[in-house]
Homo-oligomer: A and B are copies of this chain.
């Protein structure tokens, strides 16, 4: 049972993992022929091709990744580059699941390449490109003028960004329409009679900060509501910070009667802050929040939510990168996900 490494049993009969040589021996062909037969090259006879593929399937042949990679440079790896401090939790796992869903029946592996707050976000990307560690890269926390996208475009390595850029350069992306989110949120609140709205923004500097702020501003003037400035926090701030600042804000004379939050975790803090100030959600103020899992309505049923599907984002991003690797035009690999509208969970009781 405990088979020793008998060095001389390599007569292509070995129990070890089958290689092209094994297949060549079994079929009586040369390794070159086997290699080509497996990839449906035209100059191989139809019968030979079928025979080789049959045997390969039977013995469970799997090309050796290191061999392929060494020879061709193809890694069959997609890298997801993540900030290990900022990324909100559910976000990450959903994206990962979305990506793995798509690459599941491809030869691709997913590697997670982290970088921390202190590092230049370009570092991990540079590392990947310089060491040729991946055929494609997915980045998030995209900025309007994103050095990482520019860098990869220069080097010609396929990538997709979670979020759009604004550099006049074309590349694959997937984005949630945060302009529409903010605008719809404003309209919904206005429809409920709310007139003084505050916005808890995405991190300043990221692309979707602008989209969100613009959607907010445009819809405000459209419905004739006014903004209560709340620039002291963004969703990147700590729970405690957001809670405290919200409480401060809500204690002021001119306080908002509607708040829009770009992230579920921030919303928890916002509501806590509201209640710290002695106000009641749904009566004194309404809150519309984005969420990626259906949990906020359990938190306070008065909350209004807009759902963002990060698993979908992961899938789309993976599809885009694979598409680019496969030769599709980068410009054809862009997608925007529209919000499905504001959902109220207010119960009948």
How many Å from the CB of A285 to the closest CB on chain B? 16
Chain A residues proximal to chain B, CB less than 8 Å: 17, 60, 62, 64-67, 69-70, 75, 77, 82, 84, 87, 89-94, 96-97, 100-101, 104, 109-114, 130-133, 239, 243, 265, 268-269, 271-272, 293-295, 298-299
Check B87 against A93 for contact (C-beta < 8 Å).
yes
* A316 nearest CB across to chain B (Å): 17
Smallest Cβ-Cβ distance to A85: which chain B residue: B97
Give every chain B residue within 8 A of A66 (Cβ-Cβ): 66, 69-70, 75
Q: Which residue of B lies closest to A99 (CB)?
A: B112
Which partner residue on chain B sits nearest A68 by CB separation? B66
Select from chain B the residue with minimum beta-carbon distance to A96. Answer: B112
Give the residues in chain B near A131, CB-CB below 8 Å. Answer: 17, 62, 65
* Shortest distance between the CB of A17 and any CB in chain B (Å): 7
Q: With A268-B298, A295-B268, A299-B268 as given contacts, are A111 and B111 in contact (CB-CB < 8 Å)?
A: yes
Given A64-B70, A90-B93, 7 extra CB contacts under 8 A: A17-B130, A66-B75, A89-B89, A90-B90, A109-B113, A110-B111, A298-B299
| Interchain nearest-CB distance for A129 vs B (Å) | 11
Q: CA separation between A274 and B271, bound complex, in Å?
A: 21
**Selected contact of A97 from candidates B64, B114, B243, B294, CB within 8 Å:** B114
Interface contact A96-B92, CB-CB below 8 Å: yes
What are 9 A-B pairs at a CB distance below 8 A? A17-B130, A66-B69, A67-B70, A69-B69, A82-B96, A89-B93, A96-B96, A112-B112, A299-B299
Give CA–CA (A93, B91) in the complex, Å: 8
> In whole angstroms, how far apart are the Cα atoms of A340 and B131 in the complex?
43
